[in-house]
Amino acid sequence: MERIILLCMVSTCVSAVHAQKFLFSPKWGPIGYKAREEAEDGTAMDKIIKANEFQASRVIDGTTTLREGDIAVTSGRRSKVCFARSCLWSKSVDGHVYIAYKLSEDYTDLETKVIKKGMENIEKGTCVRFVPRTHQRDYVDIQPKSGCWSYLGARGGKQTVSLQSPDCLQVGVIAHEFMHALGFVHEQSRFDRDNYVTIMWPNIWRDRLRNFEKFRTESLDLPYDYGSIMHFGKFAYSQDGQPTIIPKNSKDIKLGQASSLSHIDKLKINKLYQCGDTDDY
């Protein structure tokens, strides 16, 4: 009898191991899991994908879903799509763009410091300034919800930026989500992106193909930025560990950033908000 019980226990353990391999294989598990684990110099977006793809669903709530992996889109009355100048935060008479924020009390002091470093990443070299909310009607409500995500541009009133702890509390990830809140989409979503990168469609997990759509966004007369904090990594949403985005000019060009805005990212902010001397940054 003891031998039978022992054999059952061994069989159960073996089945559990096989189940784990099945759930976490690149074919069946979280999309891009294998590629990101093998990459030594992952981008901010790689970290976001890893955090968000472990969620059972990309539906945030009954009316809000995620587009392109981390952009919140709400159906119904407030579902308008904001690209570039259509949803800007207001600019002060002193030339700065002040964005009021409210920080969840659930964050520790250390986590709060990291979030503020992400804000400083945006502020340095740009006219954007983050200020604690006092009376402002429009503000970002920073919460440790499930995953890393933000709405696109200023929506009016309170809008959530989700920075789950600890997965999203990295300076580059925080800066990436605040860039969305400022009104910027992912770099490879630019309408002219096919002049600069090749999308390897067969290597992308089939239910994430829409994350690689192009949009008629405002390029602000700035060059395509391979190194933008907003660019997908080379293996984003790979189903087999093979590249999903390859630069046309040189395969050795690194895509994306892990921890800070690029020079062109800062230029984008100042040009979009028509503030500061962009030639100085």
Phi, psi of 264 (to 5 degrees): -70, -30
Total number of residues shown for the chain? 281
> How many Å apart are CA 74 and CA 57, to the nearest integer?
15
Nearest by Cα to 180 from 207, 133, 217: 217
What pLDDT, on a 0 to 100 scale, did the predictor assign at position 26?
Answer: 40
Compute the average pLDDT of residues 58-75: 83
Instruction: Tell me the C-alpha to C-alpha distance, in Å, between residue 68 and each of 149, 188, 189, 214.
Output: 10, 11, 9, 11
Residue 16 has pLDDT above 70, yes or no: no
Residue 46 pLDDT more than 80? yes
Q: Note the pLDDT of residue 79.
A: 41
Please give the pLDDT value at position 56: 40
Residue 186 assigned to a binding site:
yes
DSSP summary character for residue 127:
S
Q: Tell me the pLDDT tens digit for each residue of 150-206.
A: 999 999 999 999 999 999 999 999 999 999 999 999 999 999 999 999 999 999 999
Mean pLDDT score across all residues of the chain: 84
What are the residues whose beta carbons fall under 8 Å from the beta carbon of 259, sequence distance 6 or more?
44, 170, 171, 172
Q: Is 177 a catalytic residue?
A: yes
Q: Which residue has the higher pLDDT, 116 or 78?
A: 116
pLDDT of residue 280: 44
Query: Residue 114 half-sphere exposure, CB side, CA atoms within 13 Å?
Result: 19
The whole-number pLDDT of residue 140 equals 98
Per-residue pLDDT, 53:
80
Q: Does the annotation list 180 as a binding residue?
A: yes
Share of the chain above pLDDT 90, in %: 68
Catalytic residue among 53, 177, 187, 218: 177
Q: What is the largest CA-CA distance in the chain?
A: 83
User: How high is the pLDDT of residue 27?
Assistant: 39
- Give the residue among 128, 122, 166, 127 at the shortest CA–CA distance from 144: 166
* Separation of CA 256 from chain center: 11
255, 233 in Cβ contact below 8 A? yes
pLDDT of residue 31: 44
The mean pLDDT of 96-120, rounded to a whole number, is 98
Cα–Cα distance between 273 and 143 in angstroms, integer? 26
Which of the residue ranges 31-35, 55-59, 235-239 would you say has the lowest mean pLDDT? 31-35
Whether 135 has a binding-site annotation, put simply, is no
- Residue 183's nearest CA partner among 254, 252, 277, 274 is 274
Token pair for residue 165?
A: 């702890």
Q: What is the CA radius of gyration of the chain?
A: 21
Q: Give the model confidence (pLDDT) of 69-82 as tens digits.
A: 999 988 764 444 56
Residue 95 or residue 277, greater confidence: 95
